Chains A and B, each alone.
Chain A
Amino acid sequence: MKDDRKKDAQFQLSRRGLLLGAAAGTVGAAVPGMPAQAATADPEDVIDLTGEYPFYGKAEQAGIRTPPQRYTFYMTFDLTTQSRMDLQVLLARWSAAISQLMKGKPVGQIEPARPDAIGFDTGEALNLSPACLTVTVGLGPNVFSDTYGLAGSKPPLLRELKQLPSDAFKPELTGGDLSLQACADDPQVAYHAVRDLARVAKSTGAAATRWTVMGFGRASAGKGQSTPRNLLGFKDGTRNIREDADFDRSVWVKDGPSWQDHGTYQVVRKIQMHIEAWDTDRISDQNAVFGRHKLSGAPLTGTHEFDTPDFHKKDAGGDLVIPATAHIRLAAFENNEGLRILRRSYNYTDGINQYGALDAGLLFISYQSDPAHFERLQTKLGAADRLNEYITHIGSAIFFVPPAPQEGSYIAAQMFADG
């Protein structure tokens, strides 16, 4: 396993210092009080396509704590079978195939010897490196039903999300019984993984594709990564969860049976951004919407990205510097009884919409130990966030993400043994 990004936290610290030094150095030469506009490329902004992660393990699935890769291909599926065994076969075939794919190997023959045979693997990832591929499998609420004899195995907190303020879902972008989150540093590797796993789903007769989003430009940071930007041009995930203790506190489930240990709840939202309206909004207003400076990412009460926001600070006129409806104020753990969720989002585009506007946004993916944590945050944001002028939640789904299987087993195998 190669994972420089994760292990080298010290390098991250020195790099940050270096960048800040560079910015400080230009202050005198540029407009006074303004940071440099053309920062040099992030020295850590390089990828190693030969990197790979193991699929099997004793804790959580890869693709949650894993430092976000550059691209994702996310897909949800509908179960098309009533048979418990079909579901078992699908999860077992998926697990075996994912373990191969994450090593950069095909899932079966590409050009079979027999002329009438069809290829198992579709072939487009052949000769490409693993590219840090992770494929994370989620189980939707309908999996845990009497149909499959699994009602008794339901993770205690799994349920459909409540209707929240500003929900504007399109049915064709909502729900699903299974989810695959494939992330890789090469988009073709991520696409190939989901494409071939969708074929396995169809060939077992167990599931059919439901909706999908191709994401790029990771819009969240993991441990040791610099903070990337969403399509509104702002840094996203400055205060994301990074430390093991925070994962234990806020991400992994606690109250389920032992086979669910290191499981977590995945909430996914397709958030359309009205980026052309945003682009013509004056910068002071953009900053006020987020509560941060666009360039540095610093809170409006600070000068550096990681400065702690001062939510009480008022300006000379007596107004809050970070406005009452600013995104970071409403989302901050200080203002939500310490609530934190892991965000692992990606930017997406669907081209040009029917009105002739650029159609783009954020594939928001969060992991938390209780779906209610997401609901509490989104209840506040959906009701009052200034950002709502520029975004619409058009898709949504929830899944339980069981822990990784050990070699010789498959995702959630124990629940079939229990039942």
Chain B
Amino acid sequence: MPPINPTTPLAAATGLAVFLALAPAAAAQEAPVKDGVSQVKIEMTSDNGGSCVLDSNSAKAGPVTFSVTNKTAASISELELLSNNRILGEKENLAPGLPTVSFTQTLDGGTYQIYCPGASAELQDFKVTGKAEKATGSTQDILAEGVKGYAHYVDGVVDAMVTSVQRLRADIDAGDLEKARAQYAAARPFYERIESDVAGFMLPGFKATDNAGNLDYLVDMRASNLDPAVGWHGFHAVERDLFEKGEITDETKKLAAELQDNVEKLDKLVSTLDYRPEDLANGAAGLLEEVQTGKITGEEEAYSHIDLVDFAGNIEGAQQAFAFLEPGMQKIDADLTKQVNAQFENVTKLLEGYRDPNELGGYKRYTAELKASDATKLSKAIQALQEPLSRIAEKVATAH
């Protein structure tokens, strides 16, 4: 058969099933057992534009080791073991010439699928007979626990933000410029930790396109996304007064009161949020995008230059979201988990070098000079984290 047209999205469950019938006929035999573990060998070849060939297409219930060797299949770089379109285990970074890799899963009786994206037959059935003494636990349950934990985390962050913004307002009402500046820097990171979860909230009665009802705009708009019809609001309007104008006016006090009102609204909305595991992963990826587009460019904190404080807030939020997925991810793809952790570590280590207890928010000011000398380095560290992290959502969304 011809290779699947890469423009045609596979219609998840039913669409994939179509290819089952077209899978190459593997030897209909049960996998041999060695030391109590069934052994299945899978070879990838360039035949028919890319094939995944199993040496056996069934096994006894219990632990099964899949050993995968990419012989000559340049079009295939990963393989997954699925149960009802849910991922049980997988291997990535498969390419011709690399050593054999393997993974082991304890499987109960039933029909599973081997999924080789890019092969001429992408899905093949794998049958397991009998009953396993102890089948692999559900990754979904583990992920669900993590999601619960993350929801608590977000609630806690937003509560802390409300308190911090209340203090900011009090300092502004008192007309204390120095204290207000310090409190501004103290309040900012809370929003930065969770901003991808709260983007898109609209106040009742507003159209989706009207920034006057967009809470994210009202709280976190900046010069670069100013909508002249709605004007300046929120954190950065306050920042402009405190750091650029250098004075607290009646207008500043109005802005601070409005900001407090809006973060309190946000607090109420956040407690109603439901998350799925992929929301955590997509949220983490969104926070990294924020780092690239807002912080490394120095756009976010154009007057106070505390961009690195926000940067650290975004990273902390992303790292927390990932940490709550990690126990589940370990089961799905330990290699990818390790890689993401290593890249997070790389970024946090890099950030450590910018700490300065004498500066607002505890990090060096992101001056034009610092940006000129260090932006590339910072951006590259984030890029290196973005690629592996962006693969997490799919894994957890389809976890068994």
Contacts and interface: CB of A to CB of B under 8 A. Distances in A.
A100 B282 CA distance: 30
A408 B97 CA distance: 5
Contacts of A126: 6-7
A108 B117 contact: yes
Interface stretch (A42-50, A85-93, A390-398): A85-93
A95 B95 contact: yes
B95 A108 contact: no
Contacts of A407: 46, 72, 96
A93 B194 CA distance: 35
Contacts of A120: 77
Interface in B75-105: 75, 77, 93, 95-98
Interface stretch (B247-255, B325-333, B361-369, B392-400): B392-400
Given A202-B387, A208-B380, A96 B7 contact: no
Nearest to B277: A116
A92 B97 contact: yes
Given A114-B12, A116-B282, A117-B394, A109 B118 contact: yes
Interface string A401-417: 00001011110010000
B117 A205 contact: no
Given A111-B9, A116-B394, A93 B95 contact: yes
Given A114-B12, A116-B397, A408-B72, A109 B117 contact: yes
Nearest to A117: B394
A108 B394 CA distance: 15
Nearest to B383: A202
Given A93-B93, A100-B75, A118-B390, A80 B384 contact: yes
A136 B387 CA distance: 24
A205 B96 contact: no
Interface string B372-400: 00001000100110111011011011100
Interface residues of A, number: 40
Contacts of A80: 384
B278 interface: yes
A110 interface: yes
Most buried by B among A89, A202, A208: A202
B98 A111 contact: no
B54 interface: no
Contacts, number: 110
B97 A413 contact: yes
Nearest to B278: A116
Contacts of A208: 380, 383-384
A90 to B, nearest CB: 9
B394 A114 contact: yes
B67 interface: no
Interface string A137-165: 00000000000000000000000000000
Contact of B397 (A114, A409, A413): A114
Interface residues of B, number: 43
B85 to A, nearest CB: 9
Contact of A92 (B10, B98, B342): B98
B61 interface: no
Nearest to A408: B72
Interface in A184-208: 199, 202-205, 208
Nearest to B13: A113
A27 to B, nearest CB: 56
Contacts of A204: 93
B353 interface: no
Task: Please classify the interface of chain A as helix (H, G, I), strand (E, B), loop, or mixed, using the class held by over half of its residues.
Answer: loop
Nearest to A83: B342
Contacts of A108: 75, 77, 117-118
A88 B94 CA distance: 11
A203 B77 CA distance: 12
B6 A95 contact: no
Contact of B339 (A105, A117, A205, A410): A205
Contacts of B167: none
Given A108-B118, A114-B397, A208-B383, A409 B96 contact: yes
Contacts of B383: 202, 208
A97 B118 contact: no
A413 B99 CA distance: 11
Contact of B96 (A88, A92, A116): A92
Given A100-B74, A202-B387, A116 B281 contact: yes
Contact of B11 (A110, A113, A118): A113
A113 B10 contact: yes
Nearest to A209: B380
Interface in B1-56: 6-7, 9-12, 15-16, 46
Contacts of B98: 88-89, 92, 410
Contact of A96 (B74, B390, B393): B74
Contacts of A88: 98
Contacts of B11: 113
B358 to A, nearest CB: 31
24 contacts: A92-B98, A95-B74, A96-B70, A96-B74, A96-B96, A97-B74, A108-B75, A109-B117, A109-B118, A110-B7, A111-B9, A113-B15, A113-B16, A114-B12, A116-B281, A116-B398, A118-B391, A121-B6, A172-B376, A209-B380, A407-B72, A407-B96, A410-B95, A410-B98
Given A99-B74, A205-B339, 13 more contacts: A96-B96, A108-B118, A109-B118, A113-B10, A113-B12, A113-B16, A114-B397, A116-B397, A203-B391, A205-B384, A408-B71, A408-B72, A408-B96
Interface of B: 6-7, 9-12, 15-16, 46, 70-75, 77, 93, 95-98, 117-118, 278, 281-282, 339, 342-343, 376, 380, 383-384, 386-388, 390-391, 393-394, 396-398
